[in-house]
């Protein structure tokens, strides 16, 4: 019996393209101006200091920006870079420069499952803060009240069963009562190894005939 649903974001509730073609280019394009305009803010200064520490030398703000751009282009996941990207996205959401993409079928069924009494949770490699910004400023408005909890890689890597065991214990349910939704097979394998039920979102992809996880092309095909 399914009592809770744990969902991935990118590729599951949200198009991968929103993240890669909207969020990341937006932060890259705004980085220099953001640092120029907000460098006096202690929270921003703290991250610029962390950039200097990571690169092992003192940096002017322009040099720090150049270093950050280089990390972006190298696809490095450096903490101060992630923190500054988060601040730039927050400003963008608040200004209404974009809204968080959520597939209409995901909006419809997340609302329906919540109304049926299921507890909904998010598990994404994006930070909890980034998750809440996306769902708080989504295409369908503020979806945050639908969710009972949020998990990021503080709970552990998404491809390791231990992460799903920890999340189940934090949710307070046996893993078998939790359904995990993802577009990545290795994540589903890890969730199943922890005892969770699984469904594989294969949006726009060709279903894998060898797959042992149930495959659906949208939330419309999921029956609880
Ligand atoms: Mg995903």
pLDDT per residue as tens digits for the range 120-174: 999 999 889 999 999 999 999 999 999 999 999 999 999 999 999 999 999 999 9
Which among 95, 124, 139 is the end of a domain? 95
Q: Do the strands 197-201 and 214-216 form a parallel or antiparallel pair, or are they unpaired? A: parallel
Residue 23 predicted with pLDDT over 90: yes
121 with 27, same domain? Answer: no
Domain around 44: 19-95
Which among 80, 95, 110 is the end of a domain? 95
Contact 4, 173 (CB under 8 A): yes
Residue 34 predicted with pLDDT over 90: yes
Cα of 91 from ligand 1 centre, angstroms: 24
163 with 193, same domain? Answer: yes
CA distances from residue 64 to 27, 32, 53, 71, 125 in whole angstroms, order as listed:
15, 9, 11, 11, 25
Cα of 21 from ligand 1 centre, angstroms: 15
Full-model pTM: 0.90
Cα of 99 from ligand 1 centre, angstroms: 19
Cα of 218 from ligand 1 centre, angstroms: 14
Q: Which two tokens stand for residue 41?
A: 């803010």
123 with 136, same domain? Answer: yes
Cα of 185 from ligand 1 centre, angstroms: 10
Domain count, the chain: 2
């Amino acid at each position: 019996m399914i009592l809770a649903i744990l969902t991935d974001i990118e590729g599951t509730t949200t198009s991968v393209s929103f993240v890669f073609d909207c969020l990341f280019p937006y932060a890259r394009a705004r980085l220099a101006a953001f640092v120029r305009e907000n460098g006096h803010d202690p929270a921003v200064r703290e991250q610029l200091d962390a950039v200097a520490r990571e690169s092992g030398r003192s940096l002017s703000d322009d040099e720090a920006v150049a270093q950050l751009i280089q990390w972006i282009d190298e696809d490095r996941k450096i903490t101060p870079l992630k923190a500054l990207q988060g601040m730039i996205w927050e400003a963008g959401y608040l200004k209404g420069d974009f809204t968080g993409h959520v597939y209409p079928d995901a909006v419809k069924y997340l609302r329906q499952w919540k109304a049926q009494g299921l507890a909904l949770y998010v598990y994404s490699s994006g930070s909890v803060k980034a998750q809440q910004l996306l769902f708080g400023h989504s295409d369908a408005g503020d979806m945050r009240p639908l969710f009972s909890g949020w998990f990021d890689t503080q709970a552990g890597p998404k491809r390791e069963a231990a992460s799903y065991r920890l999340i189940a214990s934090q949710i307070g349910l046996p893993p078998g009562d939790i359904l995990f939704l993802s577009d990545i097979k290795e994540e589903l394998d890890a969730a199943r190894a922890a005892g969770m039920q699984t469904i594989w979102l294969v949006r726009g992809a060709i279903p894998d005939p060898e797959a042992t996880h149930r495959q659906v092309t949208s939330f419309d095909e999921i029956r609880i």
